[in-house]
Amino acid sequence: MCSPPWPATCLPSIISSRSGDDIVIETTHRVAGGYDIHIKEIGTGPAIIFIHGSGPGASGISNFRANADAFVAAGYRVILPDMIGYGASSKPEGVDYTLALFAGTLRAALAAHGVERATLVGNSLGGGVALQIALDDPGFVDRLILMAPGCVAPFDAYATMPGIAKMRSGFGGPDFDLAEQKRLVSNLVHPDFASRISDALVAERFAVARTQPKDVLTRMRTPDLSPRLGEVSHPMLVLWGLNDEFCPEAHSRLFLERCPDVRTISFARTGHWVQVERAEEFNRYSIAFLGNV
């Protein structure tokens, strides 16, 4: 899957069985700066890149486990990268985690992975990364599906959101434990859904969180892309939880006012994780949007 002359190399792949007849292909690509970006892939067909959000323990598969199979069944090649600082990818210390770093390392890894054109699906920070890639390389992007996308307000404005205040924790320290990880994950969803957060998901994210430096959050810096939304001409579906405490649902208006080809859906009694809390509806609406050529 490696294709020179892109500035990346391919490390050994691992193939493992999945439920049913699907096969998960795992590959790690080394990109400029010596960073490794890990990618899981399932299915065949047009490529869809699922770009996860931030937070302790985040990864591609843990953010989109409830969605991947539906898209594979609909005939898509599902690609689940771990962004730099997350999942099984490199987690450097002493660097600023900028939007340019996230988007640049991901784009290089996708090129090395042989992806020439794709739909981008992004949640929270992943939505901002998807927007940045669409602005930087519009020919690479087919369509955009965004769930509560970040990076459409000044960085300091997000710091005042109630969800961010609830995420303050002992992350990165010796007192960070499974109970604290469960509290952080529960903050991402509406209270009605919190009891459905599985112990397996909490344990999976805790294992990743223990490998992450504090810098991945304390040195994160993102720009406000809202003045450039009018430049994004790709067909776009934007989904938002009405009770999102991290990225306010009112920001959906920015897309309606500025993007030339957009439709939005808001969900009542839903927090920051539309693709998890409303998985069946998210899958159905998104696959219908992709099929509406």
Superfamily of domain 8-291: Alpha/Beta hydrolase fold, catalytic domain (3.40.50.1820)
pLDDT of 5 strictly over 60: no
In the chain, what percentage of residues exceed pLDDT 90? 87
Report which DSSP code applies to 13: P
Grade residue 1 by pLDDT with cuts at 50, 70 and 90. very low
Please count the CA atoms within 13 angstroms of the CA of 244 that sit on its side-chain side: 25
And the tokens for 89? Answer: 């990818």
Mean pLDDT of 214-224: 96
Determine the pLDDT at residue 221: 94
CA proximity to 85, closest of 74, 98, 67, 69:
98
User: What does pLDDT average to over the chain?
Assistant: 93
**CA separation for the pair 267, 265 (Å, rounded):** 7
Determine the pLDDT at residue 133: 98
Long-range interactions of 186-192: CB distance < 8 A, separation 24+: 187/163, 187/245, 188/55, 188/163, 188/246, 188/271, 188/272, 188/273, 188/276, 189/270, 189/271, 189/272, 189/273, 189/276, 189/277, 190/241, 190/243, 190/269, 190/270, 190/271, 190/277, 192/269
**CA separation for the pair 175, 157 (Å, rounded):** 29
> If phi over 0 gives left and psi between -120 and 50 gives alpha, with beta otherwise, what is residue 105?
alpha
CA proximity to 77, closest of 39, 103, 109:
39
Grade residue 8 by pLDDT with cuts at 50, 70 and 90. low
Mean pLDDT of 34-62: 97
pLDDT of 21 strictly over 80: no
pLDDT of 14 strictly over 80: no
Q: Tell me the per-residue pLDDT of 111-139, one tens digit each, with 9 for 90 and over.
A: 999 999 999 999 999 999 999 999 999 99
Determine the pLDDT at residue 33: 95
Determine the pLDDT at residue 174: 87
pLDDT of 282 strictly over 80: yes
* Residues recognised as catalytic: 272
CA proximity to 62, closest of 81, 44, 35:
81
Q: Tell me the per-residue pLDDT of 73-91, one tens digit each, with 9 for 90 and over.
A: 999 999 999 999 999 999 9
Please count the CA atoms within 13 angstroms of the CA of 199 that sit on its side-chain side: 0
Asked whether the beta carbons of 253 and 226 are under 8 A apart, the reply is: no
Give CA torsion, residues 22, 239, 291, 3, to 10 deg.
-60
Grade residue 293 by pLDDT with cuts at 50, 70 and 90. low
pLDDT of 17 strictly over 50: no
- Cis check for the bond before 5: say yes or no (omega within 30 of 0): yes
pLDDT of 43 strictly over 90: yes
Q: Tell me the per-residue pLDDT of 184-204, one tens digit each, with 9 for 90 and over.
A: 999 999 999 999 999 999 999
Mean pLDDT of 238-251: 98
Grade residue 16 by pLDDT with cuts at 50, 70 and 90. very low
Give pTM, 2 decimals.
0.94
